[in-house]
Amino acid sequence: MVKLSKRLQTIAGYVPEGARLADIGSDHALLPVYLAERGRVSFAVAGEINAGPLAAADKQVKLAGLGSVVSVRQGDGLAVIGPGEADVVTIAGMGGSLIATILEEGSAKLAGVRKLVLQPNVAEDQVRRWLTAHDWVLEDETIVEEDGKYYEVLSAVRHPEPLHANAELYRPRPLEGCGMLESDELVRFGPYLTLRPNDVFFRKWASEADKLDRIAEGMARGGTEAAAQRRKEFEAERDRIKEVMRCLQKAKPSSSS
């Protein structure tokens, strides 16, 4: 049976029992094959645009003897499924901007979909913004570390009152010693991740602050007025990240283990 990485295992955990799954950018079809082998999905589409990964996915499905359950298809984004064919969509391993574009361009295919499980490699905030703008509500999110990289997995669902639910989810929160955690900051850091921050979360943001520090140092050598202004902006962003992390650690010391 197929074994999954920690990242894919986390995504699999959000797929409900009996789902009709569309895994977009499926690569080797590891996720749908894993779920099908365990009887977790009734049907799955492994969608891939590139010929190499498509062939690898087809081989994986045939080796597992799951051709009647997992359909391997070539196509761009959600073009691989028909309206109402899937009720759960997973998209993982690409940038947040690309994920948002795939969802936007394939929005007509989402009519019968009840859950989205999304794992952007970067720009998670762009995914959260797309979800909110299109009346999806984040139900949960998890951060995992694997091979020195950090991955956020976002699970979003339909909601009877999405505007109210999202307004509550991203409502500014008081953060002891840091003033308010504003809506834009909740979009950036994650509304659930900031409620239960763990060691992986803190390591990710320490790494992000370090990156900004290195960028600011490079700007200091630029010598122009514009470079100096940009350096101040990067330094302010770095300082705010450090401040938020410090206050979250202080407020929830028992949750960072």
37 vs 48: CA distance, rounded Å: 20
186 shares a domain with 155? no
If asked whether residues 151 and 201 sit together in one domain, one would say no
- Give which of 149, 52, 49 is closest to 101, Cα–Cα: 49
Same domain, 123 and 156: yes
The total number of structural domains that make up the chain:
2
Q: What is the CA radius of gyration of the chain?
A: 20
Q: Is 78 in the same domain as 31?
A: yes
Is 44 a member of any domain? yes
146 domain residue, yes or no? yes
Same domain? 160 vs 200: no
CA distances, 226 to each of 23, 206, 215 (Å): 44, 26, 14
Q: How far apart are CA 23 and CA 91, in angstroms?
A: 6
Q: Can you give the pTM of this predicted structure? A: 0.94
Same domain assignment for residues 91 and 136: yes
Q: Does 63 map to a domain?
A: yes
Beta strand pairing status for 115-120 and 88-94?
Answer: parallel
Looking at the chain, the whole-number percentage of residues with pLDDT higher than 70 is 96
18 and 120 share one domain: yes
| C-beta of residue 92 within 8 angstroms of C-beta of residue 64 | no
In this prediction, residue 257 has a pLDDT band, given cuts at 50, 70 and 90, of very low
Q: Quick: pLDDT tens for 25-72.
A: 999 999 999 999 999 999 999 999 999 999 999 999 999 999 999 999
Residues 140 and 220 in one domain: no
Structure confidence by residue, pLDDT tens digits, 164-198: 999 999 999 999 888 999 999 999 999 999 999 99
What are the tens digits of pLDDT across the range 121-135? Answer: 999 999 999 999 999
Q: Are residues 50 and 149 in the same domain?
A: yes
Q: What is the mean pLDDT of the chain?
A: 94
Name which of 82, 99, 4 is nearest 43 in CA terms.
Answer: 82
Q: What domain range is 241 assigned to?
A: 180-255
Residue 46 shares a structural domain with residue 160 = yes
